[in-house]
Homo-oligomer: A and B are copies of this chain.
Amino acid sequence: VTTAPDVIDLNADLGESFGAWRLGDDDALLDIVTSANIACGFHAGDPLTLRRTCAGAIARGVSIGAQVSYRDLAGFGRREMSVPPEELTAEVLYQIAALDGIARTEGGRVRYVKPHGALYNRCVRDPVQAAAVADAVRAYDPRLPLLALPGGAAVQAGQDAGLTVVAEAFADRAYRADGTLVPRGQPGAVISDPGRAAARAASMVTSHALESEDGRQVPVQFRSLCVHGDTVGAVTLARAVREALERAGVRVASFA
């Protein structure tokens, strides 16, 4: 797990529009984050959106990550699926390849991989699916880092596959005392107040610890901080987080 005390990456989910449906303010977020987790078409992201989002990221020097997902447009990739590992590896591979090829036509490359939504959460606790995802990354390019929640099965699977695993924390999600996320849908799971998320982010990065929902300080090493792009006021919150980090003397820079 790669960590660094005084420099932090800021990542957000982008490219999550689909056809006529718009989601998030990609242009505004690209001015704030240092890494863009770009959807790959399985939970969101039509090809033209991917291409434009890649172009926007490259123009601003933002690193492109493949935000791979279950094949679930109707559920936005938030519904856990029991996909057999060989199928899952192929599905993840397909997504990385599609986004990377599009990024290359715009002069960039996919620089890392981050599972989305239910796949991300499943990979925290399911070694089989985590290994299937890691296998896809290794097969495509073993130098691509895997962005993962510290302490979960994805970290182990990534390391077993010989990948660089980059740990991340969440500026706008509540944590349980064991370092796992409070599931979406539970009260307090998502922190939508920009000031609170910003103060929390600065504290997490400088103290190398996160505060759990019951008020405990949980030591944690992470190299990237995630802000969500699809919450109400996402841009305001992301900007507040970045400004708070910079005020606290933290350097905001991509890990890739």
Contacts and interface: CB of A to CB of B under 8 A. Distances in A.
A94 B98 contact: yes
B83 A79 contact: yes
Contacts of A86: 48
8 contacts: A19-B76, A47-B93, A48-B86, A71-B74, A79-B82, A79-B84, A93-B102, A93-B105
Number of this chain's copies in the assembly equals 4
Contacts of A74: 18-19, 46, 71
Given A18-B18, A20-B75, A47-B87, 11 more contacts: A19-B75, A20-B78, A46-B74, A79-B83, A80-B81, A82-B118, A93-B102, A97-B101, A98-B101, A101-B140, A104-B140
B73 A102 contact: no
A161 to B, nearest CB: 13
A135 B199 CA distance: 45
A125 B95 CA distance: 32
A166 to B, nearest CB: 21
Interface string A80-122: 1111101100110111111111101100000000000010000
| Contact residues on A (Cβ < 8 Å of other chain), bracket | 35 or more
B78 A48 contact: no
B97 A100 contact: yes
B94 A50 contact: yes
A230 B21 CA distance: 10
Contacts of A93: 47, 51, 101-102, 105
Given A19-B75, A74-B18, A48 B90 contact: yes
A140 B97 CA distance: 12
A233 to B, nearest CB: 15
Contact of A91 (B47, B94, B105): B47
Nearest to A51: B90
A65 interface: no
Nearest to A18: B21
A91 to B, nearest CB: 5
A139 interface: yes
